[in-house]
Structure 1
Amino acid sequence: MNDNNKSDLDRLTENLEKNAEKSEQKLGMVSFTDLFTPSFMSTYTQFANFGELLTVGKFNVNSLEDFMALLNEDFDVFIKKKTKFKNWDEMQSTAVSDYFKKQEASN
């Protein structure tokens, strides 16, 4: 079917799907720096940035694989002791939520 035979509804649906895919791609590109801003870190932790949190916790992270490997009970205990969160999942969820609130406010 070429574009001339498509209804307006078909074209609208395609455009919405393309935009949704672009949005999903953008979501995957949010960096730790964007999520764990100095403001976020000073509000919820005793650290200036996420790197400092890792350094103080003696978590050696040089790659995504290193980071994924440290996501365990010990990391959750550290997060609970040194931040205002119960565990890593809560900290991460709050950072994502705060990020999207800021994005919505700036639009």
Structure 2
Amino acid sequence: MDYLQACACLAGWRDSLIWGITGDRHGAGSRRRSKMPIKIDRRGLDQLIKNAKELDGKHQVKMVDMLSPQFVSAHSKFDDLASLFAASGFKIDGPDDFAAIPDDQWDAFIAANTDFENWAEMQKAGHLHYVKGRLNKGL
């Protein structure tokens, strides 16, 4: 079960999150019991479910959003993706320029200048960082 399926499962029973606790007020062996309801503030759970629903389906995410300045600066000496691109020595003025860079040369640059062994690993980690940020939005 993946994370979104788990959130959907939680959504199915979130309205029943008032639990009854049976307590024995009159000592061991007594037959009199009372139920004390406990109310749970589930605003955080509701927000998490809302965030998960917003992530459901296919989305196009800009590379600068997925590889945010926070992410790039945490995993390299660069402040943001534009700085990383500028330091690469490759002409990158658009998607076509980026696609024209030989994969092995780009992977070597990423391995030498980031915490990742190659571009695919950096993108995968950036995607995970992006999704975690979106899931935790407002919590």
TM superposition score normalised by structure 1? 0.72
Residues 1:53 and 2:87 are matched in the alignment: no
Q: Which structure 2 residues correspond to residues 10-89 of structure 1 after superposition, within 5 A? A: 23-24=57-58, 27-28=59-60, 30-89=61-120
Task: Indicate the residue corresponding to 1:90 in structure 2.
Answer: 121
Deviations along 1:18-42, one digit per CA (max 9) or x if unpaired, are: x9xx831xx11x1122111111011
1:106 counterpart = 2:137: yes
* Percent identical residues: 27
Structure 2 CA distance, aligned partners of 1:70 and 1:51? 16
Partner residue, 2:12: none
CA distance in structure 2 between the aligned counterparts of 1:104 and 1:89, rounded to whole angstroms: 22
**Cα deviation 1:38-68 (Å, max 9, x = unaligned):** 1101110110011111111111111211111
**Bigger Rg over Cα:** 2
For structure 2, which runs of at least 5 residues remain unmatched after alignment? 1-52
- The CA RMSD over aligned residues, in Å, is 2.0
Instruction: Kindly state the Cα deviation for residue 70 of structure 1 after the two structures are TM-superposed.
Output: 1.4
Distance 1:46 1:33, change over 3 A: same
- Runs of 5+ consecutive residues of structure 1 not aligned to the other structure: 1-18
Q: How many residues align?
A: 85
SS at match of 2:57: helix
Q: Detail structure 1 runs of 4+ shifted over 3 Å in the superposition.
A: none
- Which protein is richer in strand relative to its size? 2
